[in-house]
Structure 1
Amino acid sequence: MNRAAAAIFLVVLCSACPKRIEFGPEGQLTDADVVYQHVRRNQDNVVTLEGDAKLRVESPQQSGTIGMFLAVTRPALLHLETFDFFNRPLASLVADGTRFGLYQTEGNTFYQGPASPQNVSRFLPVVLPGEELVAIMLGQVPLIPAERKTLELDTKEGVYVLTLYRGAATQVLRVHPKYLRVVKSEVRGVPGYDLGFDDFLERGGLIFPGKVELVAKQAATRLELRYQQIKLNGRPDLTLYELTPPEGAKVVEVDDVGRELPAAGHESPAPPVPGS
């Protein structure tokens, strides 16, 4: 056999071999409940995040990438600032679980109202409750309350496949065998979205995904959040979550779906606020 033929043979042979799997200190796990508890514990140990990121949006309504500064604290404290290509501020959004505020530099206007899913998701083409949005940004997967669980080892992909069942709904979790962190979540049987986590970083003993991806197939929407300089589990700066309009800004009250409420003396509501 000549060298070229031998090389091709080795490539074909190796491609058929299962991926070498590196397990954690407990070795290979075979109990679905044990893996589930590890997943819960490992993703719940991140409580706060502060730093810079890039957000990539692909949807029928808009596509592009923006820079962000963000600070999030469980369960529902949220502070987001967006910047254009030249790092000029575009807007900032703050929510404390009950109320939200949105300041738009264009127009010097501060919108405030209830922290409803429609209001806290204004930077996104998908609508998520505040607690769910904070959890995803912290690298966590919202888990369905399972009635039963199954576990398999996918030797080709080199991951555990943990499946949660509740009625007609299933959630398939692909779990890193060493870090015991979810790398992919797919929900079927009920309306939902898929999540992907990659580029895991180690920060002070914590394993955290440097990339978070959300795919809403029904809405033909994909979001990708790439973290840059971040700090985990630091003491939160609570001033970042204050709902105070900038001095001189026009203040507008909105309802839970983002519609501007009528000012005193007016009877009909104005159209929805931009981004609602």
Structure 2
Amino acid sequence: MNRAAAAIFLVVLCSGCPKRIEFGPEGQLTDAEVVYERVRANQENVVTLEGDAKLRVESPQQSGTIGMFLAVTRPAFLHLETFDFFNRPLASLVGDGSRFGLYQAQTHTWYQGPASPENVSRFLPVVLPGEELVAILLGQVPLIPPERKTLELDTKEGVYVLTLHRGAATQVLQVHPKYLRVVRSQVRGVPGYDLAFDDFLEQGGLIFPGKVELEAKQAQTKLQVRYQQIKLNARPDLTLYELTPPEGAKVVEVDDSGREQPVGPPESPVPPAPGS
């Protein structure tokens, strides 16, 4: 057998081999409840994040990559700013869990009102509660409350497959066997979205994904956040979450559904004309 044929044979042979799986210090886990609890603990140990990232959006309305500064603190404190290619500000979103403020630089307009999913989605083209968005940006997967759990080991992909069941809904989690962090989440049976985490890095003893992807198939929308320089679990700067409109900006009040509200007290009804 010549060298070329031997090389091809080895490639074909190895492509059918299962991946070598590196488990954590506990070795291979076989109990679904244990993996579930480890996943919850490992993803909940990050409570704050601040730094820079690249945001890529793919949707029917817009597509492209922009720079972003973000500061998020559990449970629902948000501060997001986006910039164009020339580092000029585009928009900023601030939320404290109950109220939100959104500044659009192009129109010099500040929108404010309840921090509802519809209002938060003015910044990103997906409808998410602020608390869920904070969790996702912190590398966490919102988990359905399971009625039962099953666990398998996928030797081909080299991951645990932890499936959560609740009625007709299932959430399939691919879990890194060493870090016990979710690398992929797929929700089926109820409206939802898929999540993927990659490029894990270690900072201060914490394992954190350097890349976060969200895909909402019904909305034909995909978001990708690729972190650049970030700090984890630092003391949060609470001034970043103050809902103060920029000086001179037009202020627009909106309701839960994002509808603009009239400015000032409602007008008194005009009395009917005599004899009408």
TM tier, smaller: over 0.9
The RMSD of aligned alpha carbons is 1.0
**Is residue 2:25 matched to residue 1:25?**
yes
Tell whether 2:125 aligns with 1:125: yes
C-alpha deviations, 1:118-159, integer Å up to 9, x for none?
111222111000000000000000000001000000000000
Are positions 1:248 and 2:267 aligned together?
no
Counterpart for residue 195 of structure 1: 195
Q: What code does the residue aligned with 2:14 have? A: C
1:113 alignment partner in structure 2:
113
Give the Å deviation of 1:266.
Answer: 6.1
Conservation of the 8 A alpha-carbon contact between 2:91 and 2:123: no
- Return the letter of the residue paired with 2:225: L
* Segments of 4+ moved more than 2 angstroms: 264-267
What is the rounded CA distance, in whole Å, between the counterparts of 1:91 and 1:61 in structure 2? 17
Q: Which residue of 2 aligns with 1:66?
A: 66
Matches within 5 A, 1:39-58: 39-58=39-58
1:213-228 aligned at under 5 Å gives the runs 213-228=213-228
Q: Deviations over 1:91-131 (max 9, x none)?
A: 11100011111112222221111111111122211100000
Measure, in 1, the Cα distance between the counterparts of 2:167 and 2:265: 51
Q: CA separation in 2, counterparts of 1:41 and 1:176?
A: 14
What is the distance in 1 between the residues matched to 2:106 and 2:258?
Answer: 18
Encode CA deviations 1:157-209: one digit per residue, 9 max, x unaligned: 00000000000000000000000000000000100000000000101000000
- Quote the sequence identity (%): 87
Asked if 1:263 is matched to 2:263, the reply is yes
The match for 1:147 is 147
How far did 1:239 drift?
A: 0.1
Unpaired stretches in structure 1, ≥5 consecutive residues: 268-276
For residues 49-72 of structure 1, give each alpha carbon's deviation from its aligned partner in whole angstroms, at most 9, with x where no partner exists: 000011111111111111110000
The CA distance in 2 between the partners of 1:122 and 1:225, in whole Å, is 17
- Runs of at least 5 residues in structure 2 that lack an aligned partner in the other structure: 268-276
Read off the aligned partner of 2:207 and give its amino acid letter.
I
The verdict on how the C-alpha distance between 1:15 and 1:250 changes in structure 2, with shifts beyond 3 A counting, is: same
Scaled by the length of structure 1, what TM-score is found? 0.95
Give the corresponding residue for 1:15.
15
* Cα deviation digits, residues 36-95 of structure 1 (max 9, x gap): 000000000000000001111111111111111000000000001111110001111100
Corresponding letter in the other structure for 1:37: E
> Which position in structure 2 is the counterpart of 1:35?
35
State how far apart, in whole Å, the 2-side matches of 1:79 and 1:118 are. 17
Superposed CA deviations along residues 220-260 of structure 1, whole A, max 9, x for unmatched, are 11111100110000000000000111222222211112221
Tell me whether 1:180 sits opposite 2:180 in the alignment. Answer: yes
Aligned residues: 267
